Amino acid sequence: MSFDSLGLSAELLRAVREQGYETPSAIQASAIPAALKGADLMASAQTGTGKTAAFTLPLLQKLSAETAGKGRRVRALILTPTRELAAQVEDSIRTYGRHLNLRSLAVYGGTGIGPQMRRLNQGVDVLVATPGRLMDHMERRTVDLSSVDTLILDEADRMLDMGFLPAIETIVKALPKTRQTLLFSATFPMAIEKLAGKFMNKPERIETGERNAAAEQVDQSAYMVDTHRKRELLTHLIGTENWGQVLVFTRTKRGADQLAKELERDGIRSTTIHGNKSQNARTKALNSFKRNNVRALIATDVAARGIDINRLSHVVNYDVPDNPEDYVHRIGRTGRGGEDGRAISFVSAAEKGNFAGIRRMVRKDIPSEIMEGFEPKQTSAGAPRRNGRGRPGGPGGQGRRSGPPAHRRQGSGRSFSRSRA
């Protein structure tokens, strides 16, 4: 199947080709025609398989066909849980709507509200927003939602986890009752089912891939290690295995800052991204990482949704997440767009219960190992030991775990499945 068969306009097909994509991913091939029919839609797919494009392209098609006489009023509203994801989605709208006469704007906290107010006053067609900042604009009466005919909830499960349900309910009440509602998420917990029942009209359901599963090309593994040795192990792996870039997840903001300082002392250039940083600081940190100015980006779960880094080869769960679904979104930062990636979890004795819950949810026996020289005081029996160079077995790498190289592409054509698209 090609994009030509999905019913998209020549302008959108041109923009897709300019990005070098040829074949739609499974979620795009299923969701784009369904969204173009105008029905409400609930869509779920594995992280990193192109959900953003699956709603961006049909939305742009719909808006471009209805431009005449509409003026610059907000006709589409996209809600996202984090600032980074809002910026990413709006970037996709500008990229794939570059040949259309449409305006878009992303509004989120952590940055001045004044410039956003001026842009809204000038008129926009598509508004991408985090719930909290949109509520600020609604209270100031600087946004008019009376013309919205398309509502998109992106990563709705994360918005509920972050406590945005009251804000979402208030926002939806301000919208016209006659509208199309699209809900996209990597996971569909029961809370999402209830949300859909309240805000959607007989939605069509699309699920591609196994629910709560990571992309197949992500090589998942774990090391059993004492908490106080985790930083040493991370430094060891980065150095001995020559990792060019690594995204590291910690449980707390303070832990992220402390780890970055310790890695810097180890000679590994590092920066952090978390909720206590201003939006400018978060954007600067992410850009430094993307440009390879730093080797390690230390993040809390605020970064698990919305960060899209081309060919990111390694993700480390420095702290095992309390919520198993957060694990899926964390490791979904690698193995995107059909490329290979590696996700490694550092599991202390106190975290074994959480890690067992992750294994049950993903229905995968994630192999756990012990690195020679980093043996924990308490560990499960039977975990294979590894030599000091980070390879299983003895000298010469006997027993090395098989798996494709981290940067090898699969297939001859380039698949349009990177979520930034």
Domains of the chain (ranges plus CATH)?
Answer: 3-207 (3.40.50.300), 218-402 (3.40.50.300)
Two tokens, residue 60? 């742009």
- Residues of the chain with confidence (pLDDT) below 70: 47-48, 67-71, 187, 209-215, 303-306, 337-338, 378-421
DSSP H helical segments within 37-75, as ranges? Answer: 51-65
pTM: 0.71
Per DSSP, the three-state class of 161 is helix
Would you give the DSSP letter of residue 403? -
Q: What pLDDT shows up at residue 215?
A: 61
Rg of the chain over Cα atoms, rounded to whole angstroms, equals 22
Q: Classify residue 152 by burial, with Cβ atoms within 10 Å: 0-12, 13-18, 19+.
A: buried
Two tokens, residue 153? 């909830």
Q: Which of 390, 415, 388 is nearest to 401 (CA)?
A: 390
Whole-angstrom distance, CA of residue 290 vs CA of residue 387:
32
The 10s digit of each residue's pLDDT in 314-362 is: 999 999 998 888 888 888 888 776 678 899 999 999 999 999 999 988 8
Q: Annotate 372-402 with DSSP letters as a single string.
A: TT---SS--TTPPEE-TTS-BSSTTTTTPPP
Whole-angstrom distance, CA of residue 343 vs CA of residue 291:
21
Largest CA distance in the chain: 73
